[in-house]
Structure 1
Amino acid sequence: MSHHHDTDPMDWDRLGPLLESSAELESPLYREAAAWLGTLLPPAGVRRILDVGSGPGVLTTLLADAFPHAETVAVDGTPQLLERARARAERAGIADRFEARHAEIPGDLHQLGQADLIWAGSVIHHIGDQRAVLGELARLLRPGGVLAIVEGGLPTRRLPRDIGIGRPGLEARLDAAHADWFAQMRAGLPGAKGEPEDWRSLLAAADLRPSGSRSFLLDVPAPAPRAVREHHLTHFERQREGLTGLLADDDAAVLDRLLDRADPAGLARREDTYLLTARTVHTARR
């Protein structure tokens, strides 16, 4: 699940572990999603799975668990992330039915071969022409196969509305700044086309039969464990860097305090941090 929101050259030595830890934290909801897919497809009949935009392969291994007879293929355009996926498959004991495939999305999709299940987690919105890429993915499905895309859900919440420093509502303002950034990112993609995010209609336009959308909740209440707080620190560090120029000065100053490990109000020392989010999975059948 290679899900990064940057257009600058990536520091994969830094970003790879972040993507992996983020997916690991969200594994409970994705495990539920994989189990739901097992009600749409007979697990014993699924022979090949494509995890498109696999990133470090956390989802690839979860899908391999849910569909124990399938060959699982991690597909990504970043070799460093595919190395992580290979290592994860080894640790999970699925290396004999795992393949890492380097492919640019969407340009190389036609080379991937057919599959019974295609998972595209937080990938489609990184493609300029979303309608076209859904059509290409649909053509890779075997008859009766399912395409599952993760798009939308709920904004992640990590902090109370009032954290005792700065103006209340910091995360809502960060969401608004990110929405502006996201619109700029989408507009700058090659071949970008504006498209209402009606995923059911877009899947139907790809000659697929929509087979349901479901949202899956992740709820880690306060006080969050250390691993979650460390992930929060990394997340807010990236927001502080990535939203430069889009944040009010006072909010930037609050982020600086949150990131200061020595500050009593910083994330490393707070007892009120938590992790609450939901991801929506849209499915359609060939």
Structure 2
Amino acid sequence: MSHDHDDTSLADLIDLDGDVLHAYWADAMGYVRRAADGDQRRRIVDLGAGTGVGTVRLAHRFAGAEVIAVDASAEMLRRVRAKALDQGLADRVTTLHADLDEDWPVPGPVDLTWASLSLHHLTDPDRVLRDVHAVTRPGGLIAVAEFPVQLRFLGDEAGAALETRLLELVGRHQAERLPELGSDWPARLTAAGFTLLDERTFDLDLAPAPPAAADYAALWFGRVARHADDLAPADAAALAALLDGDGPGSLRRRELRIRGARTVTLARR
């Protein structure tokens, strides 16, 4: 995988994604659970599980199922295990430390695979999707969650204009580092041998944003700030002001509104 799995700020960002966007996560998991049609799913894989935001929700939604969290980061998987233990799921949640850009790590059969914001990090997602297809039992499902647009946090006119320029910068860097981002995942699932079932876009619009949104936004903009040398001086200064703790122009002192979307594609073997 080509991203910084061991970055603590990324792990914190993933955890806050689950907290701040909890309604999306609940709706997405309900959508996947309904697609299972009440069929007993005995073995579930969370592919590129991160800190286990999806892992524990899958374990709650599919009572009795074993859920395997796969990730390349030992620190991420430590957080998965801590969540599972805290929520009484340690007997059904297991972790597997593996780099999906290497050999496929999970033996079959698998009843359901959940891949949230992970496939676009892979060097060869088509090979991984073929591997998933090979271990999925007939009738088994795969659910791929990706984002068609980046999240936005700033609602005022000046802030929105700044955010547009920052997202353009992020887009340029992502085009270099993550060439699979924005792929036609339905087409790639079909090419891997799956049969498409459905696709749903979950629109996100949280206004006013929940209290944890300021921390979430600060982590997001903090990652953008790594590329501040590529910004115009005025935009670099404005970004620094957003991240200035409790400063007068900081995120903690602004009224935030989270907008964006996540798309979940469902397919069956």
Q: Structure 1 residue 15: deviation in Å?
A: 3.4
**RMSD between aligned residues:** 2.2
Q: Structure 1 residue 110: deviation in Å?
A: 4.2
Superposed CA offset, 1:162-187 (max 9, x none): 247xxx61111112111110111035
Tell me the residue number matched to 1:261.
245
Q: Structure 1 residue 253: deviation in Å?
A: 0.9
8 Å CA contact 1:115–1:142 kept in 2: the answer is yes
Superposed CA offset, 1:170-206 (max 9, x none): 111112111110111035xxxxxx7982221111111
Of 218, 231, 236, which residue of structure 1 is paired with 2:221? 236
The answer to whether structure 1 residue 143 and structure 2 residue 128 are counterparts is no
- Alpha-carbon distance in structure 2 between the residues aligned to 1:46 and 1:184: 38
Residue identity in the other structure for 2:210: P
104-113 vs 118-127, greater mean Cα deviation: 104-113
The answer to whether structure 1 residue 170 and structure 2 residue 162 are counterparts is yes
Q: 1:54 to 1:206 in 2, by over 3 A?
A: same
TM-score of the two chains, using structure 2 as the length reference: 0.91
8 Å CA contact 1:261–1:269 kept in 2: the answer is no
TM-score of the two chains, using structure 1 as the length reference: 0.86
SS at match of 2:45: strand
8 Å CA contact 1:152–1:279 kept in 2: the answer is yes
Residue identity in the other structure for 1:280: T
Q: 1:153 to 1:186 in 2, by over 3 A?
A: closer
- Alpha-carbon distance in structure 1 between the residues aligned to 2:56 and 2:182: 32
8 Å CA contact 1:30–1:216 kept in 2: the answer is no
The answer to whether structure 1 residue 90 and structure 2 residue 76 are counterparts is no
Gaps of 5+ in 2: none
Q: 1:6 to 1:135 in 2, by over 3 A?
A: closer
After TM superposition, list the pairs within 5 Å mapping 1:1-286 onto structure 2: 6=3, 10-12=6-8, 14-163=9-158, 169-186=161-178, 197-222=183-208, 224-241=209-226, 243-270=227-254, 272-286=255-269
Q: Structure 1 residue 94: deviation in Å?
A: 1.3
8 Å CA contact 2:2–2:123 kept in 1: the answer is no
SS at match of 1:158: strand
- Alpha-carbon distance in structure 2 between the residues aligned to 1:178 and 1:227: 23
8 Å CA contact 2:214–2:251 kept in 1: the answer is yes
Q: Structure 1 residue 40: deviation in Å?
A: 1.4
- Alpha-carbon distance in structure 2 between the residues aligned to 1:78 and 1:110: 14
Q: Structure 1 residue 49: deviation in Å?
A: 0.5
19-28 vs 79-88, greater mean Cα deviation: 19-28
Residue identity in the other structure for 2:164: A
Residue identity in the other structure for 1:23: G
- Alpha-carbon distance in structure 2 between the residues aligned to 1:86 and 1:135: 28
Q: Structure 1 residue 98: deviation in Å?
A: 1.1
Would you say how many aligned residue pairs link Structure 1 and Structure 2?
A: 269
Q: 1:27 to 1:226 in 2, by over 3 A?
A: closer
- Alpha-carbon distance in structure 2 between the residues aligned to 1:204 and 1:195: 18
Superposed CA offset, 1:197-239 (max 9, x none): 22211111111101111112333212x3331112211221111
- Alpha-carbon distance in structure 1 between the residues aligned to 2:129 and 2:82: 29
- Alpha-carbon distance in structure 2 between the residues aligned to 1:5 and 1:138: 23
8 Å CA contact 2:3–2:121 kept in 1: the answer is no
Residue identity in the other structure for 2:97: H
Residue identity in the other structure for 1:285: R
Superposed CA offset, 1:103-161 (max 9, x none): 11132424443211001111111112222221112112111001111123332110025
Q: 1:200 to 1:11 in 2, by over 3 A?
A: closer
